[in-house]
Amino acid sequence: MKRGQILGILALLLVCAVTVIPAMAANVTVTTTHDVATDYYNYGELALETGNYTGAVAYYDQALGSNTTMMNLAGALLYVYQDKSYAQIKMGNYTGALATLNAGLVVYPNDENLLNNKGYAQYNLGNYADAVTSYDQALTSDANFTTALINKGDALEKLGNYHDAVTAYKAALASDPGNTAATTKLAGAEKAAASALPYTLIVLAVVVVVIAAGVAYYVTRKTPAGGKAQEEPDKKAGKKKK
């Protein structure tokens, strides 16, 4: 379900919540409720659109601290976690974003956007292997998630795994042939992979030479005549016999 549809449903729920159904009898009293959590979420969205990330995070926190039952029914609660983490990432608060994403993934464990954002936060914290894991989980939910594929390639390059990075960028181009970021990054990864190959061969050759030299040393080393090693003489001389 798209975000617009979800927000439409949420709006209908709000209308139902604040509209008093005409009573069938004069002595019937009807009370109305208001979804405060949705109000805070909408304030957060306005702040996010204007680049007020600190204010947006504060409003999202207030939304999460309120009764989120109605938002959860409409599916809008997911966007609170997504947008709060996005605002924290824009602020450079990757640790806070990771905490928000982990909380969101408890409720929505398979959401590819939460998983992708988690990988991005981990990447910026220097946890490249963990980031690859998060991107793989996102791709399990959506194998053609171009952004996650590109991000995975970036993390793999940081790990020095250029060949798998090339595979990730190629998959991103397969899902989005016109993606300029994937095209540029693919060229860079292919160049890095090509330059890494001779270096690997040189290191391998050095290792082989060292091993061969060691083997040759032990093979050519001669033992004393008779095939036995010479014994060290006694430190104390024996007494002469009369």
Digit-coded pLDDT (tens) for 84-93: 999 999 999 9
Residue 110 is classified by DSSP as T
Instruction: Give the residue with greater pLDDT, 172 vs 205.
Output: 172
Name the residue among 23, 42, 22, 26 with its Cα closest to residue 34: 42
pLDDT, position 22: 41
Cα gap 127→167, rounded to integer Å: 21
Which has the closest alpha carbon to 82: 34, 35, 48? 48
Query: For residues 175 and 169, what is the distance between their CA atoms, to the nearest angstrom?
Result: 10
pLDDT in tens, 60-96: 999 999 999 999 998 899 999 999 999 999 999 999 9
- Report whether 120 contacts 130 (CB < 8 A): no
As to burial, measured by CB atoms within 10 angstroms (0-12 exposed, 13-18 middle, 19+ buried), residue 228 is exposed
Residue 28 clears pLDDT 50, i.e. is over it: no
